[in-house]
Structure 1
Amino acid sequence: MPTAAQSAKGRGRPHRNFRLLLVGETTSKLGTSVTSVLLPLVAVTTLHASPFVVGLLTAAPWLPWLLIGLPAGAWVDRLAPRPVMLVCNAVSALVFVSVPLAWWLGVLAIGHVLCAALISGAASVFFSTAYSAYLPRLVATADLMHRNAQLQAGEQGARVAGPGLGGLIAQTVGSVPGLLLDAASFMVSSVCLIAISSDTPRPDPAPRRRLRREISDGLRFVSGDRCVRAVTAFAAAVNLAMAGLQAVQIVFLVRTVGVGSDTLGWLVSCGGLGGVLGGLVAGRLARRLGTARTLLVLQFTAAPFGLLAALAGPGPRLVFYVLGTAVLFAGVVACNVVIVSFRQAYCPPELLGRVTATTLFLNYSTIPVGALLGGSLASVLGARPAMWSVTAALVAAGGFLLVKPLRGLRDLPGAPVAES
């Protein structure tokens, strides 16, 4: 862990290492956001895939979390995180180069595209776990909130710009060649990682034991600590409801509200703009209110705005959707900044990879379930009642924050939030 002198030094000067990480990660997230548009387009327009196969393609990047999410944490804790991240970037870049290459050779098939999504998802499991363990080695513990907020703002900005950029690329150079942009973004991320000069020593790894025992250490920490357990359950519930919202919103806007394709893109991007705002204000709110109180205030102030989205209609009534999703996403992203910073500051360094993998495994496992429930509700009840249901579930997720000891705390346990 950094000393007090290192922490003061990190606060008192621009942090070159963090700037490199921020540039690399934002660039990589932009490439991933572009690919989220281009890869389904490749399947639909080039390979003429069925809706079921497109659904498989959407689920493929998340499947590795269910298969290798828990052991990934134990493996990452045994290794230095930066080499793991570099290897993951290299694998992802090669995967997205292989798709245009196969297309140019005339051998591209839907199985190749599905494998590309699956392999890139597996690389993301290891990268995300290693990245969460790497950040606390670059910045002072008290600065984690501010730095995570900047990273989240960059990620949300990339998510806003990515779909529009992806559509432009598809129109100009084509959806298949456009995947080379994502490969290039992973290379930029790697160059930034290589340029980082870490000034904090790596913690001594714990003695190696059987993989099952090491995985159980992470599970035991998450389930046994009341604060960690509560915020993990809250995040999983939010992901469940958010996945349902994202599964329903396009059908709702197009078939119920009657939005055209020219308006749909910017309406959906309003949530991302709200996310940028949430990343920017999270640290300020945490310093003023305390981290535990900030979670409560954000959840029970921002989440009810999501109910407005279900009131959307043609013309001026679109403002309900814009306002509702923008404020909702701002609250979700700001809460995520607080939770990630808490986990990084609170967990023992030698357990951080396993604890991160465990929490992400639990959080991401609810995404496909939420998407399935949202789609089922829309099929049975209709799109607007489904919107009411999933946004109400987002409000109800706050119940996990009302348990003891969270409701009586000003701050979550761990280091205080530094002034930025």
Structure 2
Amino acid sequence: MQTAGVAVVDGQVLAALPPGVTELTWTARLDPVSELTLTASADPRVSELWTLDLSTLWHLTWHGLAPVYQREPLAQWLPQWRPRAGEQLTLELTRPLGVPGATLTFDRVAAQIAPGQRGSTVTLTLALRSSRGGNHLLPLPAGVEPLRIALDGRALPVPIAAADGTIAVELPLVPGSQQVTLTWRDPQPLGVHFTPRLPDVGQPAVNLNVRVQMPTDRWILLTTGPLLGPAVLVWGVLLVVTGLALALGRSRLTPLRTRDWLLLGVGLSVAQVWANLLIVGWLFALGAHQRQRQLHTAPTGWRLWLLHTGLAGLTLAALIALLIAIQQGLLGYPDMHIAGNDSTAHVLNWYQDRTDNALPKVEIYSLPLWVYRALMLAWALWLAVRLLNWLRWGWNAIAAPIKHEQRNDASVV
């Protein structure tokens, strides 16, 4: 008995209720046992209620009475029994044995890489949970230079490289959740093919994120890595352009052949869709009008004047669209249509749900931006030469006399 002033006679509590008192509460302690038998009072005037507050560390089985109430939804398990006079309840309590397993779990791993011409800066953030204290050894890639290590915002000593150039970070762990941030400098420069070097965390991990912040002076061509990541969609656009060039090259309404359509489409792939439709529509409108004149089906009078005015306006709009496309190609940044997992032209994001040990491997193929500008300059020079021929052909389609028409006029005279 732990409550002072409460008498116990022959293993029973002697409850004395003074006048005006309707309730008496006391606290008693039982020694831990694997089996406990409860017996209700034989006095039919006594009504009892048994409630068991059981910790989650114990497993309960009972014999005899069934509980009348167990728990509310999303509430703690509190089984209750209402025995009648003289009924018994036997409770068997066992503690489940632990099973072998890992004591360290990585709930989230986030790597941020900022590559450059002289090296890369890598920041690795680990959100981990440990069920016991100890140390966890995290080896870094060979040749890197550790800059900062923090555990829950508290700075830790930066390790020194061993004789063979390897560096291992020893993380002090305590039971519970922790967050570790490591920053290091990797001398690996940014080249045509770039693969960030990331460490092996040494434990299964979930929710892995890799983010690469590419410089603005790089032209991203292709990326590989986990499925949930960036994709360079411009190659699909160029595939469609190739198919359209093969189809448009068969038409004889314009002097453009398949090679012309292909080069024109590749250069205009960075332009807006409306600009492409406008230029193609302009060329085919001129070709259709020339075909009408050859077949003597072109309108006359004010309708012909209205048609020529429309073609002149369409020509001016197409030339403006070409100038805008050339300006975007020479002065703007190439639109490679990069999308996927919130990726942009300069920020590439990958996500992987789980891994055994190693972090996801990502690859980036890129070129200096001046290579793109040089190619666009060559395309602009080619377009300038070809555009003169197309304008001459367009003028002939509108204003130049057709010999067949002249012969018909002479015969009439």
Q: What TM-score results when the alignment is normalised by the length of structure 1?
A: 0.22
- Larger strand fraction of residues: 2
Q: Which has the larger radius of gyration?
A: 2
Greater RCO, 1 or 2 (C-alpha within 8 Å, sep 6+): 1
